[in-house]
Structure 1
């Protein structure tokens, strides 16, 4: 990844026009009827704008200065400073207001849809799936190479990690559970350090650094994938306690006189952890986990069921570029906020598609059971296993795996599987040691057809 080209300073452009005695052009720039975005509604960085066509009669640098002047009038300063001592800031465009309104309608409060995530009998199954997905994707963004299927089996079987990648995913899963447990509490330095300790357990070259700030002797820099381009050097380690204290105050100050939209607040928290880079490793995972905490803390309950990392992973370069755009253009966080609003919207849309697909699968299997002895006898968890077993013959299911997948008690999970084997004859039961496992028979489809036939004869 290349560093984006820093924009020409607004003040310098104005000064150049003034020195050239070009008062007419200077007046036109300062009185132009441009907003903060281009004619396509895009909040462009100079690195991209410089390759485009300026409006007729405008030089590119002057057009940039006119856009920048419109943005300056909208800037809202934040209580954080960059390494150069300048404040971070952002502004809100019409497109951002539209996205925030959509999120308010679709991620918080009462959502008027008959969705499994609002059904107390099924919501835990979908919650577990989302926690697993975010844990895998967030860890893969930071280099975990474990495949998705292996990671899912590890988490659902609750087995110990066998390599570094699995350990990262295992840690991330438990960190997301920690976030859920503390979502109603105010953010503290202790919470952030403990969260980092969970995320990095048994994964650091220096294990004692887990849950500890980096120190002055830690040479921490953010570089590109080839380690040849320096992208970011975080603030001095001695500043971290004070910077984290300010960040906690910001995260908790939801009743401040100067209103900041809750989603914007959560995104800023995400950005600042990435910028400050408090730890030797695991900063990205910590930042994304704290974003979830902030959203849940502020009432956006649907966020517990989505994975932003899954969306970010599809275009990781855009994620990194959003950071760099903000840092290279006068600490303007608008670039990062716009990127994250798009990520959140895509993640929620992906959730809706996932729920629709799962609902269609359950409907399909229920239709298959019509007229059979099984009609109306299977609960939603057993229907899900049946659907999976039909597509994956010879799969082995365990009580522990079923328990973890749906957040059940051991007894409920055991009853589900025993009934599928002993009462419904859908699965084959085998005893391994002191416990039972349950096998999807290769002739399951034929068994179901025979059940329908027997029912029809009766």
Structure 2
């Protein structure tokens, strides 16, 4: 509640000024930096993730036994592939999708192809946790996720062009986000990779915050005609595995996002409308 005698606007201004924000290399379309702060609830969430998802301390025997680990891993990869594709419009039931993956049969339609692509890509990412991220690798990642699912067919694995107008709209047809112009994408992707690899900034950023910011960054730039959400979530996985948060091999973040899609969307919008404050997105995605 505001202090006595202060308006809501005055109280909010004082609160914002009291925040100790750290700038990120990510810039908006006007060159203004995104930033984040670390309120107690975010620090608590990061500590919980550190304690439960990193290293080998406390890992259940069932997970670190090779046979059971493979079982849980495959189940998790299936769940993430299915749910991530459903978030992007794949109209396939969970049962049909699981049978598709298990049987090895060819996909019958675009929705099934999206799911199979995502499953195979998530398995590929497991082998890349020690690999330096490059623009070429991001393009390869997008190509694997979207192969044979896009119109035009050559859109998989390439950046959108200047004649391809891409915007993000709400269910009512209103434009809620206009990504940076295509002419900036190659340079922005290079900066994204430098951030992902820990080359920038020179100050310490918690690995989970870095992974969340990487997810936001690619979604904000929207460098592809389609498949941006799936690619952003895949980069989040890569970043978490790169920093030894092994438990995330067994967690489907898309399942969590699907449970509260409105909160996920609001976190994006709050970040952009409140002076590029990524704290909203970090808090939402570290819970």
Same fold, TM-score > 0.5, yes or no: yes
> Which residue is 2:4 aligned to?
56
> Which residue is 2:258 aligned to?
313
Q: Tell me how far 1:113 sits from its aligned partner.
A: 4.3
* Alpha-carbon separation, structure 2, partners of 1:115 and 1:224: 45
- TM-score w.r.t. length of structure 2: 0.97
SS in 2 for 1:89: strand
> Within the alignment, does 1:186 sit opposite 2:129 as a pair?
no
The 3 A distance-change label for structure 1 pair 254 and 167 is: same
Alignment of 1:165-314 (within 5 A): 165-226=111-172, 228-253=173-198, 257-314=202-259
* Alpha-carbon separation, structure 2, partners of 1:111 and 1:309: 26
> Which residue is 1:348 aligned to?
none
After superposing on structure 2, the runs of 4+ consecutive aligned residues of structure 1 that deviate more than 6 Å are none
The 3 A distance-change label for structure 1 pair 278 and 251 is: same
Q: 2:25 aligns with which of 73, 79, 86?
A: 79
Q: Tell me how far 1:213 sits from its aligned partner.
A: 0.2
* Deviation by residue 1:10-45 (Cα, 9 ceiling, x = unmatched): xxxxxxxxxxxxxxxxxxxxxxxxxxxxxxxxxxxx
More divergent stretch after superposition (140-149 vs 104-113): 104-113
* Deviation by residue 1:48-101 (Cα, 9 ceiling, x = unmatched): xxxxx6443221111111111112xx1101112100111111111111111111
**Number of positions where the alignment pairs a residue of Structure 1 with one of Structure 2:** 287
Q: Tell me how far 1:146 sits from its aligned partner.
A: 0.3
* Alpha-carbon separation, structure 1, partners of 2:9 and 2:52: 40
SS in 2 for 1:181: coil
- TM-score w.r.t. length of structure 1: 0.61
Q: Tell me how far 1:256 sits from its aligned partner.
A: 6.0
The 3 A distance-change label for structure 1 pair 115 and 57 is: farther
Q: Tell me how far 1:183 sits from its aligned partner.
A: 1.4
* Alpha-carbon separation, structure 2, partners of 1:245 and 1:255: 11
> Which residue is 1:140 aligned to?
86
Q: Tell me how far 1:114 sits from its aligned partner.
A: 3.0
Unpaired runs of 5+ in structure 2? none
* Alpha-carbon separation, structure 1, partners of 2:204 and 2:218: 21
Larger radius of gyration: 1
> Which residue is 1:111 aligned to?
57
Alignment of 1:332-343 (within 5 A): 332-342=277-287
Higher normalized contact order (CA 8 Å, seq sep 6+, divided by chain length): 2
